[in-house]
Structure 1
Amino acid sequence: MSEPAVTHTGTEAQHSAGFPPFKTESFPSQIFWLVVTFVALFVILWRIAGPRIAGVIGARKGKIADDIAQAEKHKADAEAALAAYESALASARAKAHAEADANRKVLEAETEKAKAAADAEAHAAAAKADAEIAAKRAEAATHVTKAAQDAAAEIVNRLIGVTVPPEEAEAAVKAL
């Protein structure tokens, strides 16, 4: 009898021979396709992707430069506004100080006038009070003199039993 024939399929034969990239028989075709793929990718990057990337980078640089220029413009505007504000604030302060000084002078003048009027009124009231005091003293002195005369006449009357006329009592009190 004869031995059965062993048939191998194409896939089994390829697997049994080893890993294809490591086969030395296929190196020239692998190198060819590597070069073709590299050249194709290089051309695509050089002609299509490169200009697009360069355009995006240029657009970003332009946008950044515009943003920086706009920020510098806004900064200059802000500094100008700050200078105008400080100038207006300084002039307002100067005006407020001037008005405060003018008001202070007016109030000092009014205060001096009121003080002078109050002093004059106080002097007048003091003079009137002095006159009243002098009048009261004179009146009190006459009352004291009259009381002294009456007391002297009464004392003499009680001590020695003699009635003294008012003229003599007056002369005796005035002599003392």
Structure 2
Amino acid sequence: MPQIAQIADTYSSQIFWLLLTFGFVFFVIGLGMVPKVQGTADARDAKITGDLDAAKAAFARADEAEADYRVRDAQSRTAAQATLAKAKSETAKASEVQLAAADAEVSTKINAAEARIKAASDAALTQIETVAAEAARDMVARIAGVEASDEAARNAVKAALAHG
């Protein structure tokens, strides 16, 4: 068969071109493109690693900031509570002073009113005794026909009021 006889002649030519093509592909791709792709991949890996490290550092700073915030918040709350307690204490003291002053004023007014009531009561009692003494003297004069003295009429009214 003539095709089989030609294999030896064409086979070496095909191997040559095959080696030449693979060599060209190796040099173009292997030495030209692969280092660029590898460099890009290495740069991307380095960027990712750097970004992760920066994120970890930012996370640590955020944790520190949160801890500082919590400490300042606790201090602020404590200070506010102390201020509030102080204000309540001062207000209570001021209220007590005002209450004592108002109580003293009310007590003074009550005592003055009681004194006025007692004076009015004494005056009314004196007037009642006077009117009763005059009425008793008039009744004695009409009924018994005897003139009683003012002093005797007053003593009789006082005695009657003391029993009654």
The normalised TM-score by structure 2 is 0.75
Q: Which amino acid aligns with 1:169?
A: A
Count how many residue pairs are aligned between Structure 1 and Structure 2: 153
User: Is 2:43 the partner of 1:92?
Assistant: no
Mapped contact 1:149–1:166 kept (Cα < 8 A): no
Match of 2:95 in 1: 111
Task: Choose the corresponding residue for 2:122, options 124, 138, 145.
Answer: 138
Deviation at 1:61, TM superposition (A): 0.4
User: Is 2:130 the partner of 1:173?
Assistant: no
| 1:18-72 deviation per Cα after TM superposition (whole angstroms, max 9, x unaligned) | xxxxx99798566764554344223322111111111000000001111111111
Q: Which amino acid aligns with 2:84?
A: A
Deviation at 1:136, TM superposition (A): 1.0
Match of 2:109 in 1: 125
Task: Choose the corresponding residue for 1:148, options 129, 132, 154.
Answer: 132
Identity %: 32
* Structure with the larger helix share: 2
Tell me how far apart the structure 1 counterparts of residues 128 and 15 of structure 2 sit (CA, whole Å).
153
Match of 2:29 in 1: 45
Where structure 2 has 5 or more consecutive residues not aligned to the other structure, the ranges are none
User: Is 2:45 the partner of 1:79?
Assistant: no
Tell me how far apart the structure 2 counterparts of residues 110 and 56 of structure 1 sit (CA, whole Å).
78
| 1:105-125 deviation per Cα after TM superposition (whole angstroms, max 9, x unaligned) | 222222222222222222222
Tell me how far apart the structure 1 counterparts of residues 149 and 52 of structure 2 sit (CA, whole Å).
121
Mapped contact 2:133–2:154 kept (Cα < 8 A): yes
Where structure 1 has 5 or more consecutive residues not aligned to the other structure, the ranges are 1-22
RMSD: 2.9
Task: Choose the corresponding residue for 2:47, options 63, 70, 74.
Answer: 63
Tell me how far apart the structure 1 counterparts of residues 91 and 122 of structure 2 sit (CA, whole Å).
45
Distance change >3 Å, CA 166–CA 46, structure 1 → 2: farther
Superposed structure 1 runs of 4+ greater than 6 Å apart: 23-27
Q: Which has the higher contact order (CA 8 A, sep 6+)?
A: 2
Once structures 1 and 2 are overlaid, which stretch shifts more, 147-156 or 102-111? 147-156
